[in-house]
């Protein structure tokens, strides 16, 4: 659906060139919700502008549905952009137009017949939950309602790709969740490919299928959201994971909890069905040992539950080896973080 091949973007401002995007390769499948996360200056906003042709890459190619957007010009680019819509952080609504008129605007530019525009606007108003607010102006709307208008407007021409550039960062947490639920519903109903640019891991956790982590213009980590949450490889990824789950070892497990304890500390990572297994009870019965739970938490993602548990047990080396093997046979990742 979307393929980025060796994409780089260099801005030549002032005396020194600035590399905003540095040799990025990504593949996004049809119907995926794909997150691109990074802090300010990571290059993610430049990357999303490369996806719809607002910026041209210095090198590399951007393919959307087989078309090279990076090479498109004139009418070909205009037609391509009709199928690649964007939702903005600060809504970018026309303040002198009503909700209905804002939604209709892009269809008017595209030359859609009036009767078709009217029917499509009514359909979209209902889809985004703004029935009864059709004649309101943006100044009369809440932040969440404004973003619903922005989403409806972006969907007006039935795009294949929806780009969301920090679409929830100006909203409060409750409204953010409502907008994310709306995007997830739209994705499931229309199989629409959604690319989310964000600096909030909560957004990625809640609705994304895959995520790419950017730092200094490069993608430093990429994968399925559940895997990235349970096994973050890069320091910056672990920082993002801590935003919502506090699962990095130094925060999820406080060593002071084990101060003065003899024995072993075992970290268990559960994914999917393994989160429902009575692990501690089974270990106690099997080995006749008291297992002390030091810390634990479970988190929901769009593709399942994962959790981590820190256990303390006094066991012989032979018992410890057997315990670890038993847990791994139950598809539970196990790590001994402190030996007796």
Sequence-distant (6+) residues with CB within 8 A of 58 are 8, 9, 10
Residue 306 reports pLDDT greater than 70: yes
Per-chain mean pLDDT for the chain: 88
Q: Assign 241 a pLDDT band (cuts: 50, 70, 90).
A: confident
Residue 258 reports pLDDT greater than 80: no
Residue 257 reports pLDDT greater than 70: no
Domains, the chain, ordered by start: 2-244 (3.40.50.300), 249-338 (3.30.70.260)
**Dist. CA 1–CA 63, nearest whole Å:** 8
**Dist. CA 20–CA 54, nearest whole Å:** 14
Question: Do strands 33-37 and 210-215 pair parallel, antiparallel, or not at all (unpaired)?
Answer: parallel
Give me the helix-helix angle, 317-329 and 279-287, nearest 10°.
140
Give the percent of the chain with pLDDT over 90.
53
**Dist. CA 125–CA 208, nearest whole Å:** 25
**Dist. CA 267–CA 332, nearest whole Å:** 10
pLDDT of residue 246: 43
User: Looking at residues 244-261, what average pLDDT do you find?
Assistant: 55
């Amino acid at each position: 659906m979307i393929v980025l091949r060796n994409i780089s973007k260099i801005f030549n401002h002032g005396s020194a060139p600035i590399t905003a995007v540095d040799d990025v390769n990504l593949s996004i499948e049809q119907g995926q919700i794909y997150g691109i996360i990074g802090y300010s200056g990571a290059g993610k906003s430049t990357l999303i502008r490369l996806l719809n042709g607002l910026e041209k890459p210095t090198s590399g190619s951007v393919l959307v549905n087989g078309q090279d957007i990076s090479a498109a010009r004139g009418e070909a680019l205009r037609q391509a952009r009709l199928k690649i819509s964007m939702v903005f952080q600060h809504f970018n609504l026309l303040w002198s137009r009503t909700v209905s008129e804002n939604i209709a605007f892009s269809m008017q530019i595209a030359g859609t017949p009036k009767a078709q525009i009217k029917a499509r606007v009514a359909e979209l108003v209902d889809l985004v939950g703004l029935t009864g607010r059709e004649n309101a102006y943006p100044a009369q709307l809440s932040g969440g309602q404004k973003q619903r208008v922005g989403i409806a407007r972006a969907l007006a021409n039935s795009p294949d790709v929806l780009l969301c550039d920090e679409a929830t960062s100006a909203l409060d947490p409750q409204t953010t969740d409502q907008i994310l639920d709306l995007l997830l519903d739209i994705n499931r109903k229309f199989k629409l490919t959604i690319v989310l640019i964000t600096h909030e891991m909560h957004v990625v956790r809640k609705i994304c299928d895959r995520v790419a982590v950017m730092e200094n213009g490069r993608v430093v980590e990429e994968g399925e959201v559940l895997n990235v949450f349970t096994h973050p490889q890069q320091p910056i990824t672990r920082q993002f994971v801590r935003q919502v789950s506090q699962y990095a070892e130094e925060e999820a497990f406080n060593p002071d909890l084990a101060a003065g304890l003899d024995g072993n500390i075992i970290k268990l990572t559960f994914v999917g069905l393994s989160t429902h297994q009575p692990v501690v009870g089974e270990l106690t019965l099997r080995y006749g040992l008291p297992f002390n739970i030091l810390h634990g938490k479970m988190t929901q993602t769009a593709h399942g539950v994962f959790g981590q548990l820190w256990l303390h047990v006094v066991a012989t080396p032979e018992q410890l080896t057997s315990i670890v093997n038993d847990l791994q046979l139950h598809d539970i990742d196990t790590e001994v973080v402190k030996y007796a």
